[in-house]
């Protein structure tokens, strides 16, 4: 049965999405209207990929959390479905927070999410709840909450206890849940179940012990290329060279899973995305065995200042195929994007010194690969590409080859708020050579360096008439360019 609150949200979104459709990005998920944050419930169901998201349809700022819903067959063309959850039960009256989903053997789709409940005396309880449905309508379970504060280890907080990620293997169902512990700060707890309804506490999968920030949110745990991988998003990170910056950070632990102790043993820890806007990623494994990640392409800091004149706030990244190579997490735009390339232009060995544009190389919805290498007669120190250029506005990616550093800079993109606009990060430059793949979709840019060893994302709210792209180098660079528009029309 649809509650009054859910019915209202569904009516509101249906009516308003139609009105604003042309303003939306072409192949990146937004709420269609209103506010979104974390991706939720990224899962396969009846042969299609479903994605839910933290959602407040009525405003472009965060509000009582609903779950919005889209699905896709190819990760590029997304179909809106009616909102799936509203905070309409006693145990989730203050929000249906993040969570995940799994297809049950009986053909139903199960959502596992965090219900938030504030009490009259100012306390708050976050518990894990389930809803079961058919891919369109979901019914909250009478068993809710299915994981509550009685199933916490000593020292675990009942206020910061959220974002369950469910998966199934031959032993049954498992869930990784984020928690704050007085002694260990951020930690990820493990729970098991035979039927995805009755759960028991298993142990601590990973804990910060004073490292990698305080609260850890939005865990995802999976096996890839022979390694155990844990992703989480952390509050109050400290600066660590060019790997982690202060504030919210997205952390990837790569290691070995100790099945006796239920513990992840780190071999390598790295940032997931080195750009300005990325948080709370979640993954799904496809039928053909690919591990695909999608993230909220936003930072909490910049989301709060808002973007005037747009009817939506928040978008997802392009879905990315993950691999572990040489001990590192590598990411690459989902291969289906290549089927949407149109109007290709390419150039080989263009000598770049002073600012230069190339015929046909412009636009705001595109997929462009640059291969840079030093000219034979002249070394170069810095290569620059400006995109979304028009009038005085532009955003810039620059490569300092000798240092092996890329700088992502939207200082001149027209963003009128005092948030972070520049990031620098290490990239694998070899003998001055580097590949950069740039994906743009109106209000965003995603950069993949090398073979995906580094990814960096940012939003940019430059007017869409700014479509220029130019290149320059201190010294001389030989540049190959392959550029396509992206279109989702058949
Ligand atoms: C992460 C987060 C989650 C929470 C959700 C609330 O961005 O804070 O921990 O479930 O957002 O919208």
258 catalytic? Reply is no
* Cβ of 179 less than 6 Å from ligand 1: no
* Cβ of 100 less than 6 Å from ligand 1: no
* Domains of the chain, each with CATH number or no CATH: 4-328 (2.115.10.20), 337-486 (2.60.120.560)
CA separation for the pair 171, 300 (Å, rounded): 37
* Cβ of 53 less than 6 Å from ligand 1: no
* Cβ of 50 less than 6 Å from ligand 1: no
pLDDT tens over the chain, length 490 residues: 799 999 999 999 999 998 898 999 999 999 999 999 999 999 999 999 999 999 999 999 999 999 999 999 999 999 999 999 999 999 999 999 999 999 999 999 999 999 999 999 999 999 999 999 999 999 999 999 999 999 999 999 999 999 999 999 999 999 999 999 987 799 999 999 999 999 999 999 999 998 999 999 999 999 999 999 999 999 999 999 999 999 999 999 999 999 999 999 999 999 999 999 999 999 999 999 999 999 999 999 989 886 778 899 999 999 999 999 999 999 999 999 999 999 999 999 999 999 999 999 999 999 999 999 999 888 899 999 999 999 999 999 999 999 999 999 999 999 999 999 999 999 999 999 999 999 999 999 999 999 999 999 999 999 999 999 999 999 999 999 999 999 999 7
Q: Residue 159, Cβ neighbours under 10 Å: how many?
A: 15
Active-site annotation holder among 22, 38, 273, 490: 38
Q: In the Cβ-directed half-sphere of 92, how many Cα atoms lie within 13 Å? A: 31
List pLDDT tens digits, range 438-471: 999 999 999 999 999 999 999 999 999 999 999 9
How far apart, in Å, do the first and last CA atoms of the chain sit? 37
Q: Tell me the whole-structure pTM to 2 decimals.
A: 0.97
Give the pLDDT confidence score for residue 184 in this predicted structure.
79
Burial 441-460 (b: 16+ CB within 10 A, else e): bbbbbbbbbbebbbbbbbbb
Q: Parallel, antiparallel, or unpaired for β 422-426 and 405-409?
A: antiparallel
> Which of 55, 87, 161, 163 most suits a substitution to test ligand 1, by most atoms within 8 Å of the C-beta?
163
CA separation for the pair 111, 100 (Å, rounded): 6
* Cβ of 65 less than 6 Å from ligand 1: yes
Residue 38 C-alpha to ligand 1 middle, in angstroms? Answer: 6
Residue 222 C-alpha to ligand 1 middle, in angstroms? Answer: 21
Phi and psi angles of residue 340, each rounded to the nearest 5 degrees, phi first: -105, 10
Burial 375-400 (b: 16+ CB within 10 A, else e): beeeebebbbbbbbbeeebbbbbbbb
């Amino acid at each position: 049965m649809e509650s009054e609150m859910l019915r209202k949200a569904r009516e509101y979104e249906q009516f308003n999405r139609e009105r604003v459709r042309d303003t939306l990005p072409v192949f990146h998920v937004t709420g269609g209207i209103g506010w979104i944050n974390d991706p939720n419930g990224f899962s396969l169901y009846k042969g299609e990929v479903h994605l839910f998201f933290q959602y407040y349809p009525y405003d472009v700022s965060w509000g009582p959390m609903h779950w919005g819903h889209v699905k896709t067959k190819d990760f590029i063309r997304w179909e809106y479905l009616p909102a799936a959850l509203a905070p309409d039960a006693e145990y989730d009256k203050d929000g249906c927070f993040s969570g995940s989903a799994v297809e049950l053997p009986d053909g139903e789709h199960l959502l596992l999410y965090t219900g938030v409940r504030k009490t009259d005396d100012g306390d708050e309880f976050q518990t894990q709840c389930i809803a079961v449905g058919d891919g369109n309508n979901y019914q909250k379970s009478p068993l809710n909450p299915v994981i509550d504060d009685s199933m916490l280890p000593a020292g675990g907080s009942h206020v910061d206890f959220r974002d369950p990620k469910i998966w199934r293997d031959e032993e049954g169902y498992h869930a990784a849940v984020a928690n704050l512990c007085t002694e260990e700060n951020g930690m990820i707890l493990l729970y098991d179940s035979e039927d995805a309804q009755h759960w028991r506490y298993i142990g601590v999968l990973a804990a910060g012990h004073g490292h990698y920030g305080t609260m850890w949110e939005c865990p995802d745990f999976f096996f890839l290329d022979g390694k155990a991988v844990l992703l989480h998003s952390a509050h109050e990170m400290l600066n660590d060279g060019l790997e982690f910056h202060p504030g919210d950070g997205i952390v990837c632990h790569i290691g070995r899973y100790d099945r006796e102790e239920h513990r992840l043993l780190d071999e390598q820890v790295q940032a997931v995305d080195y750009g300005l806007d990325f948080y709370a990623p979640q993954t799904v494994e496809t039928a053909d065995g690919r591990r695909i990640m999608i993230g909220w392409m936003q930072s909490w800091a910049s989301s709060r200042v808002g973007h005037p004149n747009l009817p939506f706030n928040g978008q997802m990244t392009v879905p990315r195929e993950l691999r572990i190579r040489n001990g590192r997490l590598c990411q690459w735009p989902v291969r289906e994007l290549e089927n949407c390339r149109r109007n290709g232009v390419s150039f080989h060995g263009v000598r770049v010194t002073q600012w230069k544009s190339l015929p046909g190389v412009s636009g705001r919805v595109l997929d462009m690969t640059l291969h840079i290498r030093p000219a034979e007669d002249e070394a170069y120190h810095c290569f620059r590409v400006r995109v979304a250029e028009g009038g005085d506005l532009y955003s810039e990616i620059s490569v300092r080859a000798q240092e092996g550093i890329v700088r992502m800079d939207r200082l001149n993109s027209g963003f009128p708020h005092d948030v972070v606009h520049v990031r620098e990060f290490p990239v694998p430059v070899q003998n001055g050579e580097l590949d950069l793949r740039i994906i743009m979709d109106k209000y965003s840019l995603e950069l993949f360096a090398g073979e995906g060893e580094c990814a960096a994302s940012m939003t940019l709210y430059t007017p869409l008439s700014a479509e220029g792209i130019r290149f320059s180098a201190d010294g001389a660079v030989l540049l190959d360019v392959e550029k396509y528009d992206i279109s989702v029309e058949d």
